[in-house]
Amino acid sequence: SFSSSNPKICVVGSGPAGFYTAQHLLKDVEVDIYERLPVPFGLVRFGVAPDHPEVKNVINTFTQTASHARCNFYGNVNVGKDVSIDELRRAYHAIVLSYGAEGNRSMGVPGENLPGVYSAKDFVGWYNGLPSCRELTPDLSCDTAVILGQGNVALDVARILLAPTKMLKSTDITQPALDALAQSRVRRVLIVGRRGPLQIACTIKELREMVNLPDCRPEMVAADFEGVSEALKDVPRPRKRLTELMLKTALETPGEKEQERRSKASRSWGFRFFRSPVEVLASGGRAAGIRLAVNRLEGSGDGAQAVLTGEVEDVPCGLVISSIGYRSLPIDESVPFDSRRAVIPNSMGRVQQAAGLYCSGWVKTGPTGVIATTMNNSFDTARSLLEDMDSGALDVSSTRPGSQSISALLAERGVKAVTFSGWEKIDDVETRRGEVSGKPREKLLTVQEMLQVGRD
Question: In 3D, which of 127, 152, 149 has the Cα closest to residue 138?
Answer: 127
Q: Considering the complex, state which of residue 78 and residue 175 has its C-beta at the smaller distance from ligand FAD.
A: 78
Q: For residues 225 and 247, is the Cβ–Cβ distance under 8 A?
A: yes
CA 72 to chain centre: 25
Q: Shortest gap between Cβ of 99 and ligand FAD (angstroms)?
A: 4
DSSP string, 357-395: EEE-THHHH-S---HHHHHHHHHHHHHHHHHHHHHTSS-
Q: Considering the complex, state which of residue 229 and residue 376 has its C-beta at the smaller distance from ligand FAD.
A: 376
- Per-residue binding string, ligand FAD, 118-147, x by CB under 6 A, is ------x-----------------------
Q: Considering the complex, state which of residue 194 and residue 364 has its C-beta at the smaller distance from ligand FAD.
A: 364
Give, as one character, the DSSP assignment of residue 321: E
CA-to-CA dists, residue 297 to 174, 199, 234, 309, angstroms: 41, 10, 17, 10
Interaction of residue 386 with ligand FAD, rule CB under 6 A:
no
Of positions 11, 31, 71, 79, contacts ligand FAD by CB under 6 A? 79
Please return the burial class of 431, using the count of CB atoms within 10 Å of its CB with bins 0-12, 13-18 and 19+: middle
Interaction of residue 370 with ligand FAD, rule CB under 6 A:
yes
Interaction of residue 14 with ligand FAD, rule CB under 6 A:
yes
Of positions 9, 10, 22, 43, contacts ligand FAD by CB under 6 A? 43
Question: Strand pairing of 305-316 and 286-298?
Answer: antiparallel
- Per-residue binding string, ligand FAD, 289-328, x by CB under 6 A, is -------------------------------------x--
Interaction of residue 331 with ligand FAD, rule CB under 6 A:
yes
Q: What is the CA radius of gyration of the chain?
A: 24
Q: Which residues contact 275 (CB under 8 A, 6 or more apart)?
A: 192, 193, 194, 292, 293, 294, 295, 313
Interaction of residue 156 with ligand FAD, rule CB under 6 A:
yes
Interaction of residue 197 with ligand FAD, rule CB under 6 A:
no
Of positions 119, 243, 268, 374, contacts ligand FAD by CB under 6 A? 374
Q: Which residues contact 238 (CB under 8 A, 6 or more apart)?
A: 203, 204
Interaction of residue 168 with ligand FAD, rule CB under 6 A:
no
Residue nearest to ligand FAD (CB): 15
Interaction of residue 190 with ligand FAD, rule CB under 6 A:
no
Q: For residues 144 and 186, is the Cβ–Cβ distance under 8 A?
A: yes
Task: Measure the CA–CA gap between 150 and 433, rounded to whole angstroms.
Answer: 35
Of positions 73, 74, 92, 99, contacts ligand FAD by CB under 6 A? 99
Interaction of residue 22 with ligand FAD, rule CB under 6 A:
no
Task: Measure the CA–CA gap between 172 and 433, rounded to whole angstroms.
Answer: 11
Give, as one character, the DSSP assignment of residue 83: B
Interaction of residue 377 with ligand FAD, rule CB under 6 A:
no
Of positions 15, 325, 356, 454, contacts ligand FAD by CB under 6 A? 15
Q: Which stretch binds ligand FAD (CB under 6 A): 35-43, 174-182, 230-238, 266-274?
A: 35-43
Q: Which positions touch ligand FAD (CB under 6 A)?
A: 12-18, 34-37, 42-43, 47-48, 52, 55, 78-80, 98-100, 102, 124, 153, 156, 326, 331, 361-362, 369-371, 374
